[in-house]
Amino acid sequence: MEIPKRPEPPSGLRRTLFRLPVHLYRMGLGPLFGDRFLLLEHVGRASGEPRQAVVEVVEHTGDDYVVCSGFGPRADWYRNLLKTPRATVQVGRSRFAVTARPLDAEEGGELMIRYAPRHPRATARLLRYMGFIVDGTKDDYRRVGRELPFVRLSRVR
């Protein structure tokens, strides 16, 4: 596996396209995404203003949702959660408060091993977009997972 230079977060028209799911959630169409994506409502680290991002759910168990920053640790939503871990998520029509906890590299590696066989086409597409070249082995997916920042969003009771 090659460790690539991460793609820059999108700007211009690409940013508008990446933000389209946020607008669909705002229009009440969140259930179209099922439980594969969630709307993350968080606080901007510098502005203190509310922010929103739609992120893919890597794994869901009980009251926990694990998400990953494909743009690496520079993604705004990731950096915002590091500063203020309290957030709200919407999955389908359900909204609830969560606390974010970044996962260590070993947990990330194991998550990637579980994710890749469940979603092979999405995995191939995402890794290619992020610049990773993998051979499809567990060891390669583990190495990729160690390079990506994963976050566990735990429901607040």
How does pLDDT run across 9-64, given as a tens digit for each residue? 777 777 777 788 999 999 999 999 999 999 999 999 999 999 999 999 999 999 99
What is the C-alpha separation between 54 and 73, in angstroms, rounded? Answer: 16
Any domain includes 88:
yes
Any domain includes 49:
yes
What is the C-alpha separation between 17 and 79, in angstroms, rounded? Answer: 21
Q: What pLDDT sits at residue 98?
A: 98
Residue 54's SS3 state is: strand
The answer, yes or no, to whether residue 157 has pLDDT greater than 90, is no
Any domain includes 18:
yes
Residue 83's SS3 state is: helix
Amino acid at 90: Q
Q: What pLDDT sits at residue 19?
A: 82
- φ/ψ region of 47 (left if φ > 0, alpha if ψ in -120 to 50, else beta) reads alpha
DSSP state of 104: P
Any domain includes 1:
no
Closest CA to 68 of 106, 103, 20: 103
Any domain includes 5:
no
Q: What pLDDT sits at residue 69?
A: 92
**CATH code for the domain in which residue 48 is found:** 2.30.110.10
Q: Number of folded domains in the chain?
A: 1
Any domain includes 39:
yes
Q: What pLDDT sits at residue 13?
A: 78
- Digit-coded pLDDT (tens) for 60-101: 999 999 999 988 898 999 999 999 999 999 999 999 999 999
Any domain includes 54:
yes
* pTM value surpassing 0.85: yes
- Digit-coded pLDDT (tens) for 105-156: 999 999 999 999 999 999 988 888 888 888 999 999 999 999 999 999 999 9
Q: What pLDDT sits at residue 123?
A: 92
Full residue range of the structural domain in which residue 52 is found: 12-155
Any domain includes 103:
yes
The answer, yes or no, to whether residue 1 has pLDDT greater than 60, is no
